[in-house]
Amino acid sequence: MRDAAAPVAHTPTALPDRPNPGQVQIPNLGTSGTRATQCTIMVSTGVRDRIAHYQLTKKMEAGKEPTNSVVVRRAFLHAKRGDLFPKLLSSVYHRQNPVDDEDYDDDGLLGEVVGRRAERGRMKDSTQQSFRPSYQELATYDAFSTAYGFPSRSDFLDACLDEFLPSLPASGRRSR
């Protein structure tokens, strides 16, 4: 029997094997890859607000506002340079499959139920965000998303954006 006061060292279900960044196979689309296409992803509302704030800040600093596509590209490149994809995947996994001590099955009798909702209510706090990547950028995002085992392109890019974008400034108002 487990001591109720002792912390539980829970090991989550193993995440997929992570490739070396050089192992990700990205299709070469040639000149057709340079054309832009319309794309929509689902991001958290906090990330969407931070995108708008980042764009406004850059506009005030440099006089130019980066497009949504440029912000997504910068977020991806930031994650790639820092080799952050395993960390991002882990955070996405834990956000979607929260584990409480009372859920831990010491003997493994019940097994894991992948994809089971742990909470009632809305699944995700998300909203649509459109951007216009090139076909080559989209193929690259999809290749990395798939290679690292992210559930979807939206989850992958939302995690990249969440890691890259600065926090929103504290509100100027104070409640009394």
Beta strand segments in 76-139, E: 126-131
The 10s digit of each residue's pLDDT in 74-122 is 999 999 999 999 999 988 887 766 566 666 667 777 766 655 556 655 5
Q: Over 70: is that where the pLDDT of 9 sits?
A: no
Per-residue pLDDT band for 151 (boundaries 50, 70, 90) equals very high
Tell me the average pLDDT of the chain: 80
> Is residue 39 within a helix (H) or strand (E), and if so which, with residue range?
strand 39-44
Express each pLDDT in 42-63 by its tens digit: 999 999 999 999 999 999 999 9
Q: How far apart are CA 136 and CA 164, in angstroms?
A: 21
Could you tell me how far CA 33 lies from the centroid of its own chain? 24
Closest C-alpha to 49, from 115, 103, 125: 125
- Domain boundaries of the chain, sorted by first residue: 34-99+122-164
- Measured distance CA(116)–CA(88) in Å, rounded: 21
Q: What is the mean pLDDT of residues 11-18?
A: 50
Under 8 Å between Cβ of 144 and 85: yes
The closest alpha carbon to 112, from 17, 12, 15, 18, belongs to 12
